[in-house]
Amino acid sequence: MERERADEVERICFETLIRPPAERAPYLARACDGDDELRREVESLIDADRRAGDFLEKPAVAANRPPFAALGSRVGPYELVRKLGEGGSSTVYLAVRADDQYRKRVALKVVAHGLATAERLRRFRVERQILAGLEHPSIARLLDGGTTDAGLPYFVMELVEGEPIDVYCDRRRLGVDQRIDLLCRVCDAVHYAHRNLIVHRDLKPSNVLVTADGVPKLLDFGIAKLLNPDLALPDPHPTDTWLQAMTPEFASPEQILGAPVTTASDVYALGVMLYLLLTGRLPRRLREPTPAALLRLAGEAIERPSAAVLRPGADGEDPAALADARRTTPKQLARQLRGDLDNVIMGALRAEPDRRYGSAEVLAEELRCYRRGLPVRARRDQLGYRLRKLLRRHRLAFAAAAFAALALALFIAALLHQVSETAAARDRAEETVRFVERMLEIADPARGPGASATVRAALDRGRAQLERLDGQPLLRARLEHFLGVVYVNLGDYEVAEPLLRRALATRRSRLGEHPAVVETENELGLLALSRGRYDEAESIFRRAVELAQRLRPLPRRLLADGREGLGWTLFLRGDLEAAETEHAAALDLRRRLFGDGDQAVAESLSALATVRGESGDHAASIAYYRQALAILEARLGADHPQVAMTLNDLGVELHQAGDDAAAEPVLRRSLAIKRQRLGPGHPMVLNTENSLAAVVLENGDLEAAEALARRVVAGRRQALGEEHPLLAQSRSLLARILTRKGAYDEARALFRQALAQTRRSLGDVHPGVGHVLTGWGELELAAGDPARAEELLREAVRVRAQVLPPAHWHTALSRSLLGAAIAARGDFAAAEALLRDALEVIRAARGDDDRQTREAAARLAELYRRWGRAAGAERYQPAPGDL
């Protein structure tokens, strides 16, 4: 009996603490239901919880100071009139400025006396810093700030005299359209905060007050998060429990589960408010205050709004009364919500952050399209769509990652959904997919390295069962497509290719010109690209793009995927101008489809950055990468593997631009994320180690560069095989490092292997061929064989001149080294022309302080020294410390 009583006290205490402060006392009175002894026990436990927090974190302002400012006293020029509210560790007062300047009613917020720990003071100052940078008509303005006589910080805000947004709407019986218009203005304010790199993290009706003239005002940035890494501070100390840092019913699943919080979390909270405003009920309710209930809340399926309004609310609310508050009836309200509004709301409430609307602005645009009678982008999830998105969601970030678990689930779920005709089986299929979605959050390689052998065995067993579907060719083709993509992601191309080819053949024969055909063509194109078969990849992608352009309605997502794949193929073949055209087209399609803040937009920006960098426009390339990085960090969090990929690309571009000092920390951050999330030896870890080796080489640490390069060569040989172009690239880098160390024989053997591999994979005329020839030529110069160097470097100049834009600095580098080889055999006049022209091109591209510029100048100075022209040698010779 005593145990039951203790459980009841603990439950009521927990339920009280998770509520906003203004709701705690009324709830406590209802929960105790006149039992004074029970209430005393609960209040004692709440008080003990509060004291424990103070014990664990000593207040920075001594607790024995006199109480802060009695009502009627002054804080600076402000006279306190009455308490407006309190919560967490601060109190808000109605105050009046009472000096000679003017009299104005304001809200004054101060850290509550006795709770001013160092951590809470820091968070309070962060809130003040946030508000100081925000100027928006729907965000309460910061007016003033200072410190009390007791040393407590305070700030003064405009006094918002209004009602919580849900109360405001209900009291005025606003219709659905009016409620939508009001929420759009809230979305505008939230998007403004996001553009200023601020996530609110506690959006709910009590933090959105609406004034008498209908202006919504966003309040309380007390637990907001700064996304700018230069300004951001750590999240609250563990003693500031998470219960004080969110409201569970309005919190996104990632907040509840402790995953990184991004702008997508605020989009989710806006979706909850939209659901509440339009239906009169919350999409999810915390039914009991236990950790298990919280976890269930995070994964709980949400009922579509149009269905919810036909049933009583969780607290027994009458559907007719709720509909009447919206000037309609339950059936009419359900009809109004069904379709577009259902889809928009559910789109904002996706469990996965990257599947929600790309920004609060895009959500507002959707709602405004609905209000104008225009089509909205949101569509109800079909099972196939959900399975496809589960598969594709992380493909660029996690090639060869641990999503093998998905394949068997795809097989089971689709089989249940399509083979069986019963409603019960379809329900089981939907439940299976929901279970798989939750399971994949655990199996997601973003959370840790590797795929288990057990999962791979299950995948193979699922593939073996495909023969049982011979009587249903389209279902079999659909599953072959999904399984093929999973095997591509795992790097098992031999298994993937026949699966995708069979799927394509069936879809073509059964469906004709159809989006499903484009979908499988795109996957086969990526497979060919991954295997280094660029001619085949280009042919496949062109076929897919042409088919997509003929279809109506236009499958814009598939068209964007095809054009991006074609862009990468053209880039790898050295056709930079055509590659940029394709990537720009893909970016435009994705922006129109998803908005500026979507992950797919970031991928297109990164692709354009790569092309611009290879074309020599490093400033534009770096700018594109930084745009992509900002989107990904906001959407996925700062330590996501796709953020690491973009950091890698940015680091490489900084290296190409000659800023190796800036490149090294960027690449080391990328490598740390990848090693933690993907494990050592993962192909993407090897990519970053290869990039870092090149930068470390230029920064002068030859031993560290060699160790990294040897690890990459061994890892790529094992993972990719002897014929892959990336193995040739890493061998070439190791050869360059060994050249610097004077190990010419091993370096020469590596260059010979790399050149043969590159020509077999990419053809005789490709930027990669020019790169290897240039490195090999530089080796022969250093080894004292200028005739062989000249032969190699003339071929390098010829190849690079054919595939790179005019006046590209890579071609100029080959010409500079060629000039040095010609000078070594005594033809000084011919060498001078090459060396001078090359120096000007390199200097224009990379600047006077760049290492490549200094080395090109040193080669010209060496020519003049040999020629006996001391003035020229002195003019161009860099200072000893510059090389």
Token look-up 């709701």 returns: 23
User: By three-state DSSP, how is residue 154 classified?
Assistant: strand
d(CA 315, CA 296): 19
Give yes or no for residue 874 having a pLDDT over 90.
Answer: no
Q: Is the pLDDT of residue 388 over 60?
A: no
Quick one: tokens of 212? 């008498």
Q: What is the CATH number of domain 764-883?
A: 1.25.40.10
Is residue 109's pLDDT more than 90?
Answer: no
Q: Percent of the chain, pLDDT > 70?
A: 74
Q: Is the pLDDT of residue 241 over 60?
A: no
Size (the chain), residues: 883
Task: Please give the CATH architecture assigned to the domain spanning 162-371.
Answer: Orthogonal Bundle (1.10)
Average model confidence (pLDDT) across the chain: 78
Q: pLDDT band at residue 15, thresholds of 50, 70 and 90?
A: low
Q: Are 859 and 873 a contacting pair, CB within 8 Å?
A: no
Q: What is the pLDDT confidence band of residue 583, given thresholds at 50, 70 and 90?
A: very high
Mean pLDDT over 540-552 rounds to 92
Terminal-residue alpha carbon distance, the chain: 82
Range of weakest confidence among 373-382, 570-579, 723-732: 373-382
| pLDDT tens, position by position, 452-484 | 444 455 566 666 666 666 677 887 788 788 778
Contacts by 328-335 with C-beta closer than 8 Å and gap 24+?
328/175, 328/176, 333/176, 333/279, 333/309, 334/306, 334/307, 334/309, 334/310, 335/306
Domain coordinates in residue numbering, the chain: 2-56, 74-158, 162-371, 764-883
Mean pLDDT confidence for 121-125? 61
Which tens digit of pLDDT belongs to each residue from 706-761? 999 999 898 888 877 787 878 888 999 999 999 999 999 999 999 999 999 888 87
**C-alpha neighbours within 13 Å on the C-beta side of residue 388:** 13
Q: Among 154-168, 408-422, 516-530, 590-604, where is mean pLDDT lowest?
A: 408-422
Q: How far apart are CA 141 and CA 144, in angstroms?
A: 9
Dihedral-angle region of residue 254 (phi above 0 means left; psi in -120 to 50 means alpha; beta otherwise): alpha
Nearest one of 800, 429, 356 to 595, comparing CA atoms: 356
If one looks up domain 74-158 in CATH, what number appears?
A: 3.30.200.20
- In this model, does residue 319 exceed pLDDT 50? yes
Burial, 740: exposed, middle or buried (Cβ in 10 Å; 0-12, 13-18, 19+)? Answer: middle
Residue with tokens 């300004």: 231
Structure tokens given for 233: 């501070």
Q: Provide CB contacts within 8 A for 195, sequence distance 6+.
A: none
b/e map of 846-878 (b: 16 or more CB within 10 Å)? beeebebbbbbbbbbbbbbbebeeeebbeebbb
Predicted confidence at residue 47, as pLDDT, reads 66
Nearest CA to 350 out of 441, 445, 479, 481 is that of: 441
pLDDT value at residue 122: 59
238: pLDDT strictly greater than 50 = no
Specify whether the CB–CB gap between 620 and 588 falls below 8 A. Answer: no
- At 767, list the tokens: 């930027």
Query: What does the pLDDT average to over 181-189?
Result: 94
Which residue matches tokens 């080391």? 668
Percent of the chain at pLDDT > 90 equals: 30
Average pLDDT rounded to a whole number, residues 541-549: 93
Place of tokens 């209430």: 39
Average the pLDDT over 779-802 and give the result: 92
Neighbours of 146 (CB within 10 A): 15
- Helix, strand or coil for residue 163? strand
Whether omega before 553 lies within 30 degrees of 0, making that bond cis, reads: yes
Count CB neighbours of 427 within 10 A: 12
In this prediction, residues 149-177 reach a mean pLDDT of 87
Answer with the residue of higher pLDDT: 876 or 518: 518
CA distance 204 to 206: 6
Cβ atoms of 154 and 147 closer than 8 Å: yes
Across 94-116, average pLDDT: 72
Long-range pairs of 540-547 with CB within 8 A, sequence gap ≥ 24: 541/565, 541/566, 541/569, 542/566, 544/518, 547/513, 547/517, 547/518, 547/521
CB 311 within 8 A of CB 319: yes
In 466-617, which ranges are continuous DSSP H helix?
473-489, 493-511, 515-530, 534-550, 556-572, 576-594, 599-614
pLDDT tens digits, residue range 59-87?
333 333 334 445 557 787 888 888 887 66
Structure tokens at 28: 């406590």
Question: pLDDT digit string (tens) for 838-863?
Answer: 999 888 877 777 778 888 999 999 99
861 token code pair: 């100075």
Strands 103-111 and 90-98: antiparallel
Confidence of residue 417 (pLDDT cuts 50, 70, 90): very low
* Contacts for 727 with CB less than 8 Å, ≥ 6 apart: 713, 716, 717, 720, 721, 757
Determine the angle formed by the axes of helices 263-279 and 340-348, rounding to 10 degrees.
140
Q: Is 339 helix (H, G, I), strand (E, B) or coil?
A: coil
Predicted confidence band of residue 230 (pLDDT cuts 50, 70, 90): very low
List all residues 6 or more positions away from 739 whose beta carbon is below 8 Å from its beta carbon. Answer: 747, 775, 778, 779, 782
DSSP conformation class of 808: -
Mean pLDDT over 361-374 rounds to 86
pLDDT at 267: 94
Checking if the pLDDT of 26 tops 60, the result is yes
Per-residue b/e over 683-708, b at no fewer than 16 CB within 10 Å? Answer: bbbbbbbbbbbbbbbbeeeeeebbeb
Lowest mean pLDDT among 128-132, 155-159, 548-552: 128-132
Q: What average pLDDT score do residues 861-867 get? A: 90
pTM: 0.49
Residue 356 CA to chain centroid, in angstroms?
12
Closest CA to 251 of 234, 232, 237, 270: 270
pLDDT of residue 676: 82
Q: How far apart are CA 796 and CA 817, in angstroms?
A: 10
Residue 50 CB neighbours (<10 A): 13
Closest CA relative to residue 527, chosen from 555, 573, 567, 495: 495
Instruction: Pick the range with the lowest mean pLDDT from 17-31, 76-90, 530-544, 818-832.
Output: 17-31
CA distance 338 to 603: 34
Q: H helices of 217-349, where?
A: 253-257, 263-279, 291-299, 305-308, 319-324, 330-337, 340-348
Out of 56-70, 368-382, 466-480, 596-610, least confident range: 56-70
